[in-house]
């Protein structure tokens, strides 16, 4: 996957190459606070993004920048900016068609027996995934139907969440979206498409670190959709997060992960269900 390096390495950028101690220090901080693993292959990515940020704020060396991030109270704001730079936010509408097919058939089959559906997009990035879920929910549950539904969408990146809340996307990012969906849920002009207020009102964006799910006050969900997030974590952590997600699944609920993101995970309460390219589990009914 391409890393979002914003600028080519140049001699004017402060910091220079990260030495072993500095690399280890930053790597440990990121893994401890965010869970993401910075492998040796991503060292250059870390170095480039740290240096670019240090240049922006006029900080000359990695250690001073590290101290700023961990020590001072203003470090909290700086940390937010840095996390945004160091997380991969690549996403698109209806990214995994098989995953959305699962959501569609689940809602269709449950609709006659349920009055309300709560969906959760975990690691929602700039909103394309939760809005896609909302479009499927609206199509299946209908605007005039007695079924209520809502989508909760969470991410660690504040800038990504701001873009998600704005719900405004360049038209070129919607080339793969079906024309009838475009017509129903977007208003497009001058190369930009705005999500309809109707849909926006049903999607609630919140800031949440997946490492803190166990402390979250969120209730239970009928569908939890978490794709392309666990891949950045170590295997033991993927399992731990999935255990926490499973606890937030309502009886009979559906958990959808990305294909290959979790291996060797078992739960006494959840059963694996077959899907073309997604990894999905269903919780036993009460």
Ligand X SMILES: C[S@@+](CC[C@H](N)C(=O)[O-])C[C@H]1O[C@@H](n2cnc3c(N)ncnc32)[C@H](O)[C@@H]1O
Q: Does 209 bind ligand X (CB under 6 A)?
A: yes
Q: Does 89 bind ligand X (CB under 6 A)?
A: yes
- Interface size with ligand X, residues (CB under 6 A): 22
3-state SS record for the chain: CCCCCCCCCCCCCCCCCCCHHHHHHHHHHHHHHCCCCCCHHHHHHHHHHHHHHHHHHCCCCHHHHHHHHHHCCCHHHHHHHHHHHHCCCCCCCCCCHHHHHHHHHHHHHHHHHCCEEEEEEECCCCCHHHHHHHHHHHHHHCCCCCCEEEEEEEECCHHHHHHHHHCEEEHHHHCCCCHHHHHHHEEEECCEEEECHHHHCCEEEEECCHHHHHHCCCCCEEEEEECCCHHHCCHHHHHHHHHHHHHCEEEEEEEEEECCCCCCCCCCCEEEECCCCEEEEEECCC
Site string for ligand X, 106-145 (x = CB under 6 A): -----------------x-x---x----------------
| Residue placing its CB nearer to ligand X in the complex, 59 or 85 | 85
| Residue placing its CB nearer to ligand X in the complex, 43 or 95 | 95
| Residue placing its CB nearer to ligand X in the complex, 209 or 267 | 209
| Piece of 45-53, 178-186, 187-195, 223-231 that binds ligand X (CB under 6 A) | 223-231
Q: Which of 160, 174, 249, 270 lies at the binding interface for ligand X (CB under 6 A)?
A: 160
Positions touching ligand X (CB under 6 A) are 34-36, 87-91, 95, 123, 125, 129, 155-157, 160, 209-211, 227-229
């Amino acid at each position: 996957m391409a890393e979002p390096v914003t600028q080519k390495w140049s001699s004017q950028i402060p910091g220079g190459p990260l030495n072993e101690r500095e690399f280890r220090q930053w790597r440990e901080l990121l893994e401890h606070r965010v869970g993401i693993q910075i492998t040796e292959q991503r060292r250059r990515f870390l170095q480039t993004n740290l240096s670019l940020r240090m240049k922006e704020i006029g900080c000359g060396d990695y250690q001073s920048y590290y101290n700023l991030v961990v020590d001072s109270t203003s470090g909290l704001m700086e940390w937010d900016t840095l996390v945004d730079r160091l997380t991969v936010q690549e996403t698109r509408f209806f990214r995994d068609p098989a995953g959305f097919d699962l959501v569609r058939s689940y809602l269709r089959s449950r609709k006659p027996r349920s009055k309300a559906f709560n969906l959760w997009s975990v690691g929602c990035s700039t909103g394309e995934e939760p809005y896609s879920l909302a479009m499927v929910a609206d199509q299946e549950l209908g605007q005039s139907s007695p079924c209520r539904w809502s989508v909760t969408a969470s991410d660690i990146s504040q800038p990504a969440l701001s873009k998600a809340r704005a719900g405004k996307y360049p038209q070129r990012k919607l080339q793969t979206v079906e024309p009838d969906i475009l017509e129903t849920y977007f208003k497009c002009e001058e190369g930009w498409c705005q999500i309809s207020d109707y849909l926006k009102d049903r999607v609630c964006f919140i800031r949440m670190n997946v490492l803190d799910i166990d402390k979250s006050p969120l209730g239970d969900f009928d569908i939890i959709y978490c794709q392309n997030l666990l891949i950045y974590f170590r295997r033991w952590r993927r399992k731990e997060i999935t255990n926490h997600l499973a606890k937030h699944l309502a009886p009979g609920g559906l958990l959808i992960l990305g294909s290959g993101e979790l291996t060797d995970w078992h739960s006494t309460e959840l059963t694996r269900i077959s899907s073309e390219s997604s990894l999905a589990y269903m919780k036993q009914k009460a």
